Amino acid sequence: MPGPTRRRRSLYGALAAVVALLAAGCGGGAAPASKAPAAGSEGAFPVTVQHRFGSTTIPAKPVRVVTLGYTDQDAVLALGTVPVATSEWYGNQPGALFPWAAAKLGGAPLPTVIPSSDAVQFEKIAALKPDLILSLYGGLEQGDYDKLSAIAPTIAQPAGVQNYAIPWDTQVEVVGRALGRPAEAAALVEGVRAKIAQVKAVGIPTPNANLFLPGSLKLTGPEAATPEQQMAYVTKAFTRLERLGVKILCFGSGGARRVPDGFSKDEAFAQLVAFGKRIAPEAKAHGITVVIEPLRQQETNIINSAAEGLTIGRASRVLPKDLKPAEILFRLGSIPTSFRPGSKRK
């Protein structure tokens, strides 16, 4: 029978695996964390997949897959197919693949990266000659879907699922059906669920979380991520933080909110207020309180004082206007009780 130390290592190993899975899923799907499926048992074609715009029939096994959803490539790679193109989200990773997904390339060339844009780049996609287009963790409109469907069979998220909000397990299952590997997809999902159950059995509470946004997901300046890109990350992050039992999320994220040199501080402030307004309803829906952390000037160049944090919190509705002073201190993070409004952390 294993001793306490060995059991503890096993449990903490499972915890690390699932936390990495959930955190990485803020930028990728959950399935790649599981053991890669064995080649072989493929589903029969043609296969028809239902989604928000109706149904799509895939006549034969896809070999040239374009992933427009921000994390769709992770599930595609986990199921043994290397996409010919991916969509840039944040991070400027080669092939738009983070390490957990890049490890699945198996020597294949990196996918072409389709840059982020307000408009779908139909001509560039058509030039890739895809035989399947996926936009599961995305936000296609009907007109976009119609044009893409004229290029290749196209699958959007299931009916009833909001843009940029498909659950990780549903995403893997849909990809599995589209690629003719439903059994392997189901095995991946069950493997991850088993790890999650193991972590829950440990009983380690995780009421608080820090950092929130990666430095590469910019909130200020002319190169700031679009609202859709920001909310794609936030929605996935809040969903997974809720699953971990997190109730308080500290918004430090100095790199993400740093104002570029020469950019208007007032405009940057307005960008942060707009970001706060977007995330406040999502945080409430997941039972998460966002606390705003004033950072040292060495860490970032905006929200360096409690007064700035309070102003942004109230303007963006992250902080209710009727909060008492003690509550304000709490929700602004670990600020000394002797602070004076306008004082800056050094």
**Could you report the per-residue pLDDT of 216-244, keeping only the tens digit for each?**
899 999 999 999 999 999 999 999 899 88
Res 21 pLDDT > 80: no
Please state, as a whole number, how many other Cβ atoms lie within 10 Å of the Cβ of residue 38: 9
Please report the sign of the dihedral spanned by the C-alpha atoms of residue 341, residue 258, residue 87, residue 249: negative
Please state, as a whole number, how many other Cβ atoms lie within 10 Å of the Cβ of residue 62: 23
Strand order in the sheet with 289-292: 208-209, 248-251, 289-292
Cα 341 to chain centroid distance, Å, stands at 35
Give the pLDDT of residue 221: 96
Give the pLDDT of residue 31: 34
CA–CA gap between residue 166 and residue 315 (Å, rounded): 30
Structural domains of the chain in order of their starting residue, each with its CATH number: 18-194 (3.40.50.1980), 208-331 (3.20.20.150)
Q: Which 8-state DSSP code applies to residue 221? A: S
pLDDT digits (tens, 9 = 90+) for 280-304: 899 999 999 888 888 988 899 999 9
| Percent with pLDDT over 70 in the chain | 79
Q: Where are the alpha helices (DSSP H) in the chain?
A: 4-24, 72-78, 99-102, 122-127, 142-149, 168-178, 182-202, 227-244, 254-257, 265-285, 306-315, 325-331
304 in Cβ contact with 297 (< 8 Å): yes
